[in-house]
Amino acid sequence: MKKLTIVLTLIFVTACVQNKNIYYWGDYSDTLYATKKEPSAESKERHYRELLNIINNAQSYEKKIPPGIYFELSMYESEKGNHDKANILLNQEYSLYPEAKTYIENLRVGDKNE
């Protein structure tokens, strides 16, 4: 009985460790760092494309889209003047992460006042 308990505990711990990262991040850290280190149109475009890549590939890796990805992408779209697309992306962020409601509402209010 003692051996069975140990084996079941090891299986449980192993399963938890394997599922440690439930989000697909792609090259997010690298492209964000490049954008912050050397801000340019090219580095911003690479990061923008990486955000799209994360959204498009998360399911194929059987992972979730991380919190804030749609939100950040909506900021890029808003900068480009694509406010309708930005609002669609904010709705997608809210549907995945309703706890982001305050941030989303503040961003929308900002768009209306500008």
What are the structural domain ranges in the chain? 22-113
Residue 108, C-beta contacts closer than 8 angstroms, at least 6 positions apart = 87, 90
Q: What is the pLDDT of residue 103?
A: 77
As given in the structure block, the two tokens for residue 1 are 């009985």
The pLDDT, as a whole number, for residue 5 is 54
Q: Is residue 71 within 8 Å of 89, Cβ to Cβ?
A: yes
Cα radius of gyration (the chain) = 19
DSSP class of residue 66 equals P
pTM confidence score: 0.75
Give the model's pLDDT for residue 114: 46
- How does pLDDT run along the chain (114 residues), one tens digit per residue? 655 456 445 555 554 445 568 999 999 999 999 999 999 999 999 999 999 999 999 999 999 999 999 999 999 999 999 999 999 999 999 999 999 888 788 776 555 544
